[in-house]
Amino acid sequence: MVVVDQLWQKHQPLLQQACAALQARGHWTPYPEIPSGKLYGASAREEGEAAYQALPGSHFSLLGPAPQGVDGVEVSPYTGSLGISYDLYAAEDLVDVAKQGMPAWRDAGPQQRAAVCLEILERLNKRSFEIGHATMHTTGQGFAMAFQAGGPHAQDRGLEAVAAAWQAMSVVPATSHWHKPQGKHDPLVMDKRYHIVPRGVALVVACSTFPTWNTYPGVFASLVTGNPVIIKPHAQAVLPVAITVQVCQQVLAEAGFDPRLVTMAAEGAEVGIAQTLATHPDVKLIDYTGGNAFGDWLSEHATQARLYKEQAGVNTVLIDSVASMKRTAQNLAFSVSLYSGQMCTTPQAILIPRSGVSTDEGTLSYEQVCEYLCNTVRKFLSDPERAAGVLGAIPNPATIQRLQQASALGKVLLASEAHGIPGYEGALYRTPLILSVEGHDPVWQQEQFGPVSFLVAVEDSQEGLALIAETVASKGAITLGVYSTDEALLDQAEAVAVEQGVALSCNLDGAVFVNQAAAFSDFHATGNNPAANASLTDPAFVAGRFAVVQSRRHVAAREE
Amino acid sequence: MVVVDQLWQKHQPLLQQACAALQARGHWTPYPEIPSGKLYGASAREEGEAAYQALPGSHFSLLGPAPQGVDGVEVSPYTGSLGISYDLYAAEDLVDVAKQGMPAWRDAGPQQRAAVCLEILERLNKRSFEIGHATMHTTGQGFAMAFQAGGPHAQDRGLEAVAAAWQAMSVVPATSHWHKPQGKHDPLVMDKRYHIVPRGVALVVACSTFPTWNTYPGVFASLVTGNPVIIKPHAQAVLPVAITVQVCQQVLAEAGFDPRLVTMAAEGAEVGIAQTLATHPDVKLIDYTGGNAFGDWLSEHATQARLYKEQAGVNTVLIDSVASMKRTAQNLAFSVSLYSGQMCTTPQAILIPRSGVSTDEGTLSYEQVCEYLCNTVRKFLSDPERAAGVLGAIPNPATIQRLQQASALGKVLLASEAHGIPGYEGALYRTPLILSVEGHDPVWQQEQFGPVSFLVAVEDSQEGLALIAETVASKGAITLGVYSTDEALLDQAEAVAVEQGVALSCNLDGAVFVNQAAAFSDFHATGNNPAANASLTDPAFVAGRFAVVQSRRHVAAREE
C-alpha cells in the first residue's frame, strides 16, 4: 500500500520524537496551542470560523451502517439551537460494520496503523479553529480555551496515546529464532512469529464538557492497537466528535482501509445506545468519562470488556503558608473560575487553617485569607471581556440550577453574578459562588459540578491534610494543590498524595494552574482512587488493548 | 539499606539479561532444567530429598497474623496422607498484615524490590529438588516433570514477570524538568517527580496441578510492583506454595522488610477464604488459575480488583498431512500422555480428515491414522518406569471418576489401563483413554480434564479448521497444533489462530511439544478467548499492577 508507506515515511520522525518526549516527560508538543495565523497559516482563523459557520442548520453526514433516523439537539449557550442533525444507527449494526474492517486493520500491523493515526492527528490539527468553534458552541467554553483544549491539547493527548501504545507494542518482537542446545544431540530450533492483535470492538463514551480532550486518548490508544472504534458523543456535544470522526474516516479511506473503522453512535432525544453497545459481547474495550451513575453501571454490567473510566471527584487545595499571598490568590482565582469550575481538575475546596496562614503580608487569619481570595476573584472577573473568556457560558440547565441552590450550603462569601456576554445577545456568564464552611461539615466533600467553591476552615494544616486524605479516599480526586513554605509539610503532602493516588501540585503561584495537565509530562488521574480507574497515559492505559498471538515452526537442522 | 544494595549489585546483571532475553525471545534461562548434581551441586539431590522427607507429619510454620487454627489435608497419590498441617488465618487479618508492610515496600522503589525478588528466585532455585518432591507428592507429577515444572520452569516464569514489570515501570522516569518557553517572558519551569505505587493487596489463587508454575507470574509481577501478596493454595497442593512463601519471608526479613508482605491463606477441610479475600475492598489484584465456576464468579463479584485469570479450555490438533507419520505420532503420544492430560495445554481433540492424510508412508485413512496413533501411545507407555514417569499418579478422585465414565462418550479405540507404579506400593498410573467421535458430535468440545483424548473424524481439513475456530471461540483454548506439508494450509491455520487468539504450533515432530511453553520466548495464553483473560507474560499482565503518582513544583528562575 503505497499511500500508507508514504505516511510512515512522513510521520516516523514525529513518532520517534513523541516516544522520546514520553520518556523524558519535559515540555514537548508538535501542535501549537496559540491560535495564531503565524503558526496555523494567515487565513486559518477565518477559514476555520467560516467552516464552522456553514454547519448550523445542516445535516452532518458520516459513514456508517444504514441510518435508522436523524436527530440533533445541540444548543449553543452563545447562539441558541445549532439545528445540526446526525444519522442515528442501531447498536448491532454499528458493531457489525466495525468488525468488517477489523481484519485488514489488524493485519496492517502497528507501523501502518501508527502512520494512519498520525496523519489523522495532523489533519485534526489543521482543523483546530473549526474544532475550536465547535467546542465553544457545544461546551460553552470561551473560544481561547475551546481552541486549546478542544484542538492542540486534545491532539497532544491523542499523540501521547499513540506513542505510549507504540512503546508497549514494541516490547514484542515480530519474530524470534529459538535455539536450544541439547548437549551431544542436535539443538532444538524453532522460528516464531508474534502477532499484535486487537481485543475487539472499542467503545468510547464521550462527555459534554471535553468532547475531544477526554476522548482522543481512548480513541487513538484503541485504534493504533488494531481495534475499531465507536464513539458515543454526549447529545449536547456531538459536533466536535463528528468532525473528528469525519477526519478519521477520510484518512482511513485514503489509506485503503474501511472508513467505518471509526464511527459515531449519535443519540437524539431518545437515549440508551451506550448501554446496548457497552454490554455487546463483541465490545471488548470501553473508555468512559462522565458521572458516577453510568460509571458504576458500567463496572457492574460491562464485565465482558476492559473499562477505562474517569468519573466524579472532589479536588482540594491546602493553604498552609505562602511566599506571595497575591500571586497565590491570583493563581487560585483563575483556577476556580476557568470554565465555570466544570473541569474534572478544578479545585472545589480550599482548606485554610484557623491557626493562621504565614504570608509575605504577615500572618493572615482564616477570615483574612477568605477575604483576600474573594477580593482577588472579584477583581479578576471585573472585566466582562476577560470574565466571559475565562468563565464561558454554561450550557447545562442542571448546572445552573445547582449553582442557584448551592447558596444554602454554607456562608456566602461571594455571590454568583450573571452578566451578559459581550457580542452574544442573551448569553450569560456566571461568576463563581464562594462559600465558607467548617472542616467537619461534609457538604464540601460532595462534588458540586460547576462554579461553586468552598473555603473550608480547618484547625491547622495537619487536620487539613487528614481531611484531604479522607476525601480523596472516599470521593476520589484528580488534583491536589498544596501551598507551603515548609519543606517538611510539602513532603508530608507528597506522602498523602502517594498513599491516596492523587497528583500533587505545590506552590503554584505563576502561570501554571492546578487544573492544567500537560501531555507528555503530566499524568492525568492515577487509577488509584474513586475518581478514575485509569491514567492518561500510563502503561496500563495502553497495554490491555492488544493481545499477542504467536506461531512457532520447527526449523530443520539443514535449513539453519 | 546495605543488604538490599548488595542484592542489587549481585542481581542487576541477571535482570539486564532477562530484559534482553524478553525482547529477543530466543532460548534463555538462568535456572538449569536438568536435575543434575553437576548443575545444582553434588549433594543437592540428596539434600533436597532429605529436606522434603523431613516434612510429612509435621507442622509447617509461616509468618502471618494470629492463627485461628491448624489444618492440612494433602494426600500424596504415591505415599498417602502427608500429615502436614498449616496455620489458618482470618481473611481480614491477612489483609491487615499485608497492608502493614506495604508503605515501606512501596517507598523502597522498583530497584530494591527487583533485587529482593531476584534473590527470592535464586533461593527458590537452590531448593528446586525439595520443591520438586513437594510438587510430585501434591500434584502427582512424575519427579522429573515435577522438578522442571515446579522448579526451574516456574522460576523462569517468575523471573520473566519481574523483567516484564521492570520494563513497564522503566517507561516512567523518576523525575523530569519541565521547561516551557513563554516568548519574551520568563519560561515556565517545573520539577516533577513520578512515584510508582502499588494498586493494593494482591491475591493469588493457586491451582492443584501447577501450584508454583501458574502462581509465580502473578506473585512476582505483583510483588515487584509494590503490592503485598496473599497466596491461597489449593488444599491438595499447599506444600510447594508453603516452601515458596517461606523463602519469600526469609529474604524479605533479611532485606529489612516486613516478611508478611507475602503470606499464605491455607484452607483445610473448610473452604471459602478465597471468596472473602477476593471481594475484600483492599484487594485490588487477583490472579486465578482453575475451573470456570470460580473464574466466572470472580468476574462477576470481584469487580473492585483487576483480575488475571486462566480457566478451562479445549485444545485441539489438526492432522492435515505430515512429513513423518512416525515422528508425528511419537510427538503426539507424549503430548496426550504427559501428566495424564492434566495440563491446561494438553491437546484434548485431534482432528483427522476422512478424506485421508498424506504421509511419508502413503495416504492414510482416518481409521489408519487412529490406529497408528493408538499403537504409538500403547508402545510408548509399554515400559512401566517410563509410563509412570510421564503419566504420574492422579491425586484427584473426581478425575479418576471422570475417566471411568468417559468410555461412554465415544467409540473406545484404546482403553485406559491402571498399573502399579514401581517403587510406590498401591500407587497407580493410568494410561489415556482414546475415543473416536464424529466432528459434528459436540462431546469432544467439552473439557474432559484428565487422560481422555478424542480422535475426531472431520470431512476434510477445511471442516477441521472451521470446527477448531468454533471450539476456540466458544470454549477457549491455550494451544492449537497443526500438521501440514502445505504452506497455504499452515497460513490458513495461522489466520485462524490470530482471529481466535490461540497460540499455534506447526508440525511438531521432534522434542518440542504442543503442551510446552518456554518462558522468555513463548506466550502462554493470549487473553483473547474464553480460556484466559491474561497472557504470560505480555505487557498487559504487568502494566495494570502499578499506578503513577506525580508531584510538581515550580522552579524559580533564579534556581534554574
For residue A301, the chain B residue with the least C-alpha distance is: B300
- Is the pLDDT reported for residue A210 higher than 50? yes
Of the candidates A23, A26, A523, the beta carbon closest to that of B179 is on: A26
- Report pLDDT for A275: 97
Tell me, letter by letter, the H, E, C secondary structure of A269-322.
CCCCHHHHHHCCCCEEEEEEECCHHHHHHHHHHCCCCEEEEECCCCEEEEECEC
Contact flag B497-A549 (C-beta cutoff 8 Å) = yes
- Give CA–CA dist B224/B368, Å, rounded: 53
A543 touches chain B (CB under 8 A): yes
- Give CA–CA dist A484/A490, Å, rounded: 6
**Chain B contact set for A506 (CB, 8 A):** 551-554
- Is the pLDDT reported for residue A556 higher than 70? no
**Chain A contact set for B514 (CB, 8 A):** none
Contact flag A535-B548 (C-beta cutoff 8 Å) = yes
CB pairs under 8 A between A and B: 209
Quick one: angle between helices B216-224 and B91-126, nearest 10? 100
**Chain B contact set for A173 (CB, 8 A):** 23-25
**Chain A contact set for B535 (CB, 8 A):** 547-548
- Report pLDDT for A560: 42
B504 touches chain A (CB under 8 A): yes
Q: Average pLDDT of chain A?
A: 96
Lowest-pLDDT choice from A145-159, A173-187, B240-254: A173-187
Share of chain A above pLDDT 70, in %: 99
Mean pLDDT of A411-426: 97
Contact flag B503-A549 (C-beta cutoff 8 Å) = yes
CB B276 within 8 A of CB B91: yes
- Is the pLDDT reported for residue A559 higher than 80? no
Please tell me the distance in Å from B316's CA to the nearest CA on chain A: 15
For residue A485, the chain B residue with the least C-alpha distance is: B553
- Report pLDDT for A554: 83
B554 touches chain A (CB under 8 A): yes
- Give CA–CA dist A100/B360, Å, rounded: 41
CB neighbour burial string for B275-298, b if at least 16 within 10 angstroms, e if fewer:
bebbbbebbbbbbbbbebebbeeb
**Chain B contact set for A483 (CB, 8 A):** none
- Report pLDDT for B401: 95
B282 touches chain A (CB under 8 A): no
- Give CA–CA dist B102/B233, Å, rounded: 22
How sure is the predictor about A555, in pLDDT bands with cuts at 50, 70 and 90?
A: confident
- Give CA–CA dist B124/A371, Å, rounded: 64
**Chain A contact set for B528 (CB, 8 A):** 197, 199, 547, 549
Global pTM exceeds 0.95: yes
Contact flag A548-B538 (C-beta cutoff 8 Å) = yes
ipTM for the predicted complex: 0.96
Q: Which of residues 170-229 of A touch B (CB under 8 A)?
A: 171-173, 176-182, 188, 190, 192-195, 197, 199
Residues of chain B under the 50 pLDDT cut: 557-560
- Report pLDDT for B555: 79
> Which DSSP string do the residues of A170-212 spell out, in sequence order?
HTS-SEEEEEEEETTEEEEEEEEEEEEEE-SEEEEE--SS-TT
Q: Which of residues 92-131 of A touch B (CB under 8 A)?
A: 103, 106-107
Which three cell numbers mark A11?
510521520
For residue range A438-451, what is the model confidence (pLDDT) as tens digits?
999 999 999 999 99
Contact flag A194-B25 (C-beta cutoff 8 Å) = yes
Please tell me the distance in Å from B491's CA to the nearest CA on chain A: 10
**Chain A contact set for B194 (CB, 8 A):** 25, 523
- Report pLDDT for B554: 83
Interface test with B, best of A19, A171, A494, A523 (most B CBs within 10 A): A171
Phi, psi for residue A203 in degrees, rounded to 5: -115, 130
